[in-house]
Structure formats: structure tokens, C-alpha cells
Amino acid sequence: MTQLPPNEQEVQSPPATGNKRIGVIITFAVILTLLGLLAWGLKKAQAGPLDNGLAPDFTITDFDGRTATLSELRGQVVVINFWASWCPPCREEAAYLEETWRKYEDKGVVFIGVDYVDTEKEALAYIDEFDITYLNGPDIGTRISQAYNIQGVPETFFVAKNGELRGVHIGPMKSPQLDEKIEELLAEQYP
């Protein structure tokens, strides 16, 4: 069984040792690059999203040109929501987010929508569709999402009145998760 009968039609590949060597080098280079990439990704993933300590500061310019800076919002509870128009689970929570914002708008709560890797036209259509009225702007150069080390969208970070992160919610939020979190943070004393 181990010896196959000689076959006249067997393809005699030319002794292309040079080509073969290049092929081998390329193959192993690709494999090693890939493994290197995974190792690097793994190292980053092990870090996980930020969920405590002082919330990284940022300034965001919204689609209408208004700006907001996180460090200037001390004394208020801040909800930072990372989203994108191409993300189906974001659509799931959009109506609930807006509803909750309207409920807490006048109670010392600020909502910031950070639009992650998106195109303006689609993003505006999304905002229009869900009639979103809180501040929303693009994350230019993914600077904000990198500072928060987000794992995907949607992801929502909660900032207490003193500017500290008080947890992160990965995935879409549903009633009454957001309400509960906001009530909890509003109850904190400041200063």
C-alpha cells in the first residue's frame, strides 16, 4: 500500500528549487506575521475596556458644530455612548437612549454620542430616524474610542459627577438598565 505503481503520466515538475525556496520563505513569513498580529491583538485585548479611574478627557465637535469637553462637565453625570449607523445592535438601543435622555435632560445628566467609524450621511440619517436630540459627533481618527479601548459598538461608559468612570456596558442597553445606572450616579454626593 505504501508503494504506488510508477505512473507514466505522473507530472514531472521541473526542479524549480529557487522558486520553491521563495515559496517556502513567503509562506512562513505570512504565518509568522499573522501570529505576530494575533499576539499583538491578544496583548491589547487582555487589557480590556477602561471601566474605572478618571475618565480620559476629550473634546468632541458634534454634527452641528457645537463642542463639548468632558472635563468641563464636572458635577454632572455623563453617559458616553459609542455607536455607528452600520451597527444593527445600536439601532436596538437608539430609541431607548433618546427616551432616557429626554427624561433626564434637566436633571444634571449629559449624553454624548460618539459615532465610531462612520460616514456622515448615514450617521445623520440615523440621527434623523431615531430623532436623537443629544450631542452627537464623529470620533475623528478614532481617538476617543482608543482612549477608552472600546471592544466594539455599541458600548456605553458612565462617568460620575467627579469625572471618574463608573463602569461600562458592552452591547445594547434595554430598559431599565440605563435608568438604574443614572439614578445610582445621580445619588452620589458632589463635591
Residues that bind other proteins (CB under 8 A): 1-2, 4, 7-11, 13, 20, 24, 27-28, 31, 35, 37-42, 44-46, 48, 84, 86-89, 91-92, 95-96, 99, 116-117, 129, 141-142, 145-146, 150-154, 170-171, 174-175, 177, 180
Nearer to other proteins by Cβ, of 39 and 54: the residue is 39
Nearer to other proteins by Cβ, of 104 and 163: the residue is 104
Q: Are 78 and 161 in contact (CB under 8 A)?
A: no
**Closest separation between CB of residue 76 and other proteins, Å?**
25
SS3 category, 59: strand
Q: Which helix (H) or strand (E) holds 144?
A: helix 143-147
Q: Are 101 and 133 in contact (CB under 8 A)?
A: yes
Torsion, Cα of 87, 88, 93, 98 (10° steps): 60
**Closest separation between CB of residue 26 and other proteins, Å?**
12
Nearer to other proteins by Cβ, of 13 and 189: the residue is 13
Taking the C-alpha atoms of residue 130 and residue 72, their distance in angstroms, rounded to an integer, is 28
How far, CA to CA in Å, does 36 sit from each of 22, 23, 44, 47, 150? Answer: 21, 20, 13, 17, 22
Nearer to other proteins by Cβ, of 123 and 161: the residue is 123
**Closest separation between CB of residue 182 and other proteins, Å?**
14
Nearer to other proteins by Cβ, of 86 and 190: the residue is 86
According to DSSP, the residues that pair with 110 across neighbouring strands are: 78
Distance of CA 136 to the CA centre of its chain: 15
**Closest separation between CB of residue 92 and other proteins, Å?**
6
**Closest separation between CB of residue 136 and other proteins, Å?**
18
